[in-house]
Amino acid sequence: MLAILAPGQGAQTPGFLSSWLADAVVADELGALSEVAGVDLAHYGTEADAEAIRATEVAQPLLVAAGLVAGRALLAAGPNPDVVAGHSVGEITAAVLTGVLSAEGAMRFVATRGRGMAAASALRPTSMMAVVGGVPDEVSAAIEAAGLTAANNNGKGQIVAAGTVEQLAVLAANPPARARLIQLSVAGAFHTVHMQPAVAELAALAADLTTAAPSTKLLSNADGAVVDDGAEVVRRLVSQVGNPVRWDLCLDALAELGVTGILELPPSGTLTGIAKRNLKGVALFNLNTPDQLADARTFVAEHAGVAA
């Protein structure tokens, strides 16, 4: 049983799309997506530095576009994955791969999302910090004591705290025992109350989007549930901006469904790394460059439609 996963913000690295743009079809597709998003995706995916692609209004459409062009190249000839999920902004990629949204609709959505979240982030200095290790109850208590939100629960051994820079400084000064704190390369406290200003505009845009039922199982960041109604998927995508990502529950769902193979779309490595810690025995594939496509298609064929 095959799962395709799409990464979230922070996974991007300078030049990660360079090898994909050697293909004229990909270059044309990325150009079309750039026009819809109002962002020069080819430039940001090849020439821009780490600070430039850290900007929320750039990173979000860039990541979704990367997942779409790689996903099309991988899956155009089939077979279909058994389950698809994306972490945070990656859930928009997942919505396109399962047919809920068109590529154009998704790029309009993610461009609006990125601009809205960037504007919300500018209202007050906020950020996010990963808490790796520690005793879960003690980690949760330390996050709460600092006034922070557990914005991402990424499964065994990693919770991401989000809030103001002052609150993060409190956590850094009083870390949970046996835990390591890692400052994330993001520009705001995503998936918290600080992002609520971005929700209204996104909800208005979402009301005009055409949706369809998912063509295969699509997991929700809200609770790990399989969502089978396109309008409900989009409603959850809007709500997701200001609410925590429960990737731990998505991991539980992958285990319960009996997934045997996980392929992560570019820029890959983050979600397979989490899966390695949480889903023992599941085969993993990191797709990052087009010269891996033949091996990736073999991986897909080996796992898609195969019961655990």
User: 185 Cβ partners below 8 Å, 6+ apart?
Assistant: 10, 50, 54
Distances in Å between the alpha carbon of 244 and those of 210, 224, 251?
26, 12, 15
User: 281 Cβ partners below 8 Å, 6+ apart?
Assistant: none
CA dihedral 112, 114, 116, 118 (to 10 degrees): -160
- Does the active-site annotation cover 191? yes
Residue pointed to by tokens 């993610």: 110
Residue pointed to by tokens 């690295």: 13
Given 34, 88, 121, 268, which residue is catalytic?
A: 88
> How far apart are alpha carbons 308 and 306 in whole angstroms?
6
Distances in Å between the alpha carbon of 94 and those of 49, 167, 293?
27, 33, 19
> How far apart are alpha carbons 143 and 80 in whole angstroms?
40
Given 87, 121, 127, 191, which residue is catalytic?
A: 191
- Does the active-site annotation cover 185? no
Compute the half-sphere exposure of residue 230: CA atoms within 13 Å on the CB side of its CA.
Answer: 20
Q: Using alpha carbons, select from 208, 202, 243 the residue that is nearest to residue 109.
A: 202
* Phi, psi (rounded to 5 degrees) for 226: -80, 120
Residues recognised as catalytic = 88, 191
